[in-house]
Amino acid sequence: MMRMPGHRANPLRQPRTEVSEIPAVEGLDLVLAAENVRRQGGDPTRFASALSAGFAEGVPSERTDVFALVSLAGWRAGALTLREDALVRAETIIEPAVRSAATRVLDIRSDLHSFLQKQSTDRYWWPDRAKYNGIVCAIGGFAGVGGSWIAPPTEALPLAEAGAFGIRTDDEWWRADLDVWGVRLVRLSAPPTEDPDAAGSVSIILEENSYLAVLHVEATP
Amino acid sequence: MSDRWHKVSASPTAPGVDGRPTSISVDDLFHTAEPAGADLDEKLRQAYYWIVNRAVISPYYDIEFSSASPVTFDVGDAGAQLTLPTEASFSSSVLLPLLSFAVGGKCLLIGGPGRGKTTVAVLMGVLAGSSSGEVRRSVQQGQPQLTISDLVGIPLPRDLMAASRLSEINIAWREWLTRPVKIIDEYNRIPTKTQSALLTMIAEGYVESHDQMWRTNPESGVESWFFTANDDAGGGTFPVIQALKDRMDVTVQAAGFNSRFFDELVTRVEAGEKPEEHVPVELVFGSDEQVEIRRQIRAVPIPSQVRRRLEFFFSHFEFVQHGGRRFEYRTKDTVTTAGGRVAEAIEANSGADLAADLGAQTINGLSVRALQTLILYSKAMAWFRGTTEVSLSDVAAVLPFVLRGKLQPNLSHPRFDVGAERELATDPASWLSDLFTESCRQFVGLGLDHDDPVRALLAQLEAGLDGLSAVEVSRRITEVESGIRLIASTGKLYGHHFDDLTTLKYLHQRYTAYLRWVQPSP
């Protein structure tokens, strides 16, 4: 089980890339893009390292390909709100070299096509999930050490929208939106409405006295 | 570069908005459509958590917030209590400097050597966008030989020789003067004359030398000052001039080192690392962000019920029964400016209940500057916590740090002289905190939260006098007089009565003047 908030798909120790180290692309302010990724809940340094990996063998000549890689890098960095845009743009990449760059951006050991296919039906999928016994991420954490909650979570409900859960901590309800790379937590003013059919093979695991809520996906036979 | 420094809270530290996420496109990443500072409070909270968890090792949570009854434990045999607050709570030695950075304030960090005072101040400089080297170089070390020229710069020798008038002398101003964060280490070791020059800089925002003037405000207009001292009781090489002391917006005690975090200390020594060299770039605030933060903080409203309790709290301290003969002159300031001793004047007042008279616990009243600072820092605390308006908890949290050194305890009062209460003589933060709690208790006890006749009379006047009939004004004058009579009939006089009576007299003057105008004498 995880002991700190975070996503299993993100390596625990990764060489840090500063935003200032992103290769320059004429006409695009990638430092501003990194700042906006941060505002969307993503990690700007992860955005920088993803994009640097994508541009390692050169910046694509087609503008649409550059935008697709930037969008994928933002999503990969945890900006959940970029998910739909990134998936749509990734489908438009044709050039093999750019497709290869996209897999470097996403840091996945599979080809882009099969990853996109899996993601279209399972937003929590990445090639190594089975290795971690279906554990995708841990969210929340104690506010005193930089987490979100001041009381351990005691109840979790699946909500109607894909990737959404309601989580109760003491007398507060939170909405968690999740996928393979990102999480967005907001405090709710009223208890959310449960949709029991929405969860499927996905569950939120809560442990007594733990401030973490762990997302688990049951292995499909 | 070591990765262990670069851990910034990924999840929101205090989310406040409901709703589902709205998808964006990659084009949105290249727009600055989101106003600068839409999530600046979150960024400041992330900076706070980074500092306490990564930079200064401060596991102290002395600024407590609780929405329900917190669990408390009696520990030891000397009345100590440990409280476990129910909401996110904070370490004052980091949060108050951070709020000072946010509001552009002046923070005095006190405590023995090696407690991280200068480190915290330097971190604020790095958060403002300077490199750690620049900030370290611009720290002004207080020492007994520090001259005004050392502090502000020197006239160019060539000009000194050639100039025929002062205006022709150019000054080589010191670079630190225009930094957004200014740090004066050990300010109680600076000679008195140099302290006066420092006072002009802080109070007026400029320095003068040889008839030349240099503005110290940075381009953004937001500057914060950090002073350190290892003594707050008049010690040091030179006593700090009172006017300079009064300019300190908040005074914070640096926390000691917790021995349970020794391993982290060993790691740092082995790595030879300084926290200010590892501030994550995403936590640095640009000058436009600093301006926006200050704007947002000032815009946080203080609701009426909080204002009423604050004004009741302020009302205790100016009045002293035997301070003078005329009613309006019965103040501590009258006694002090005439060279008298306030404690003796308080002692002479045998009519009031010393336990109930909160004003008797202090030898001075509160300055308007102190009140303004309290308002600003209360707003900053509410903004930092992500709330939409200032609550009583926000005020209570910052009050001891704002009023420390400004509200002086009357040490001959029984409050500081009986049993365990003696502890309060050396713990001004706890004393001030208790004072505010007791004031709020009295406010509720007097029923002022739902029945405040003087406030109601003031509100009537604030609605305007236009079109009021002579009959209505006469009725209000009678109401004012009966209010005065009611207070007079109690036979006792406390600080809040003094302010109420002064206000009622003011109302009487306004109404009688109006009455003379609408009803000219034949």
**Is the CA virtual torsion B24, B27, B33, B34 positive or negative?**
positive
Q: State the smallest CA–CA distance between residue A221 and chain B in angstroms.
A: 32
- CA distances in angstroms from B347 to A40, A80, B352, B414, listed in the order given: 62, 67, 10, 11
DSSP B508: H
pLDDT on residue B1: 38
**Does A93 lie at the interface with B, CB-CB under 8 angstroms?**
no
In the predicted model, what is the mean pLDDT of chain A? 89
Among candidate residues B402, B321, B283, B243, the one with its CA nearest the CA of residue B13: B283
Task: Write B349-354 long-range contacts (CB < 8 A, 24+).
Answer: B349/B320, B349/B321, B349/B322, B351/B321, B351/B491, B351/B492, B351/B493, B352/B321, B352/B492, B352/B493, B352/B494, B353/B492, B354/B413, B354/B414
Asked if residue B433 has pLDDT above 80, the reply is yes
Write out chain B residues lying below 8 Å of A39, CB-based.
34, 38-39
Q: At B208, list the tokens.
A: 């003068």
Average model confidence (pLDDT) across chain B: 86
Mind listing the pLDDT tens digit for each residue in B458-511?
999 988 888 889 999 999 999 999 999 999 998 888 999 999 999 999 999 999
A71–B26 CB contact, under 8 Å: yes
Are the C-beta atoms of B211 and B226 separated by less than 8 Å?
no
Asked if B206 and B212 count as a contact pair (C-beta separation under 8 A), the reply is: no
How many residue contacts between A and B have a Cβ separation below 8 Å?
A: 122
- Could you report the per-residue pLDDT of B202-221, keeping only the tens digit for each? 888 888 888 888 888 777 77
Bridge partners of B90? Answer: B63
Contact list in B for residue A186 (CB cut-off 8 A) is 12, 15, 17-19
At B9 the pLDDT is 59
Residue range B390-405: average pLDDT? 94
Q: Would an 8 Å CB–CB cutoff place B22 in contact with chain A?
A: yes
* A84 closest CA partner among A120, A50, A117, A48: A120
> pLDDT at residue A111 above 80?
yes
Q: Which of A76, A183, A187, A195 to mutate to test the interface with B (most CBs of B within 10 A)?
A: A187
User: Within an 8 Å CB–CB cutoff, is residue B91 touching chain A?
Assistant: no
- Residues 482-521 of chain B with CB under 8 A from chain A are none
B418 and A CB contact within 8 Å: no
Q: For strands B140-141 and A6-7, give the pairing.
A: unpaired
Q: What is the pLDDT of residues B349-371, one digit of tens each?
A: 777 788 889 999 999 999 899 99
DSSP state of B506: H
Cross-chain Cβ contact B20/A38 below 8 Å: no
- The pLDDT of residue A142: 83
pLDDT at B15 over 70: no
Reply yes or no on whether the pLDDT at A42 is more than 60: yes
The answer to whether the pTM exceeds 0.95 is no
Question: Which ipTM was obtained for this model?
Answer: 0.86
CB of A100 less than 8 A from some CB of B: no
Q: What is the pLDDT of residues A152-173, one digit of tens each?
A: 999 999 998 899 999 998 878 8
Distance between CA atoms of residues B454 and B499, nearest Å: 10
| Contact across the interface for B30 and A33, Cβ inside 8 Å | yes
Q: Say if B33 is an interface residue toward chain A (CB within 8 Å).
A: no
Helix axes B453-462, B495-518, angle to 10 degrees: 30
Per-residue pLDDT, averaged over B33-50, amounts to 75
Mean pLDDT across the stretch B327-346?
92
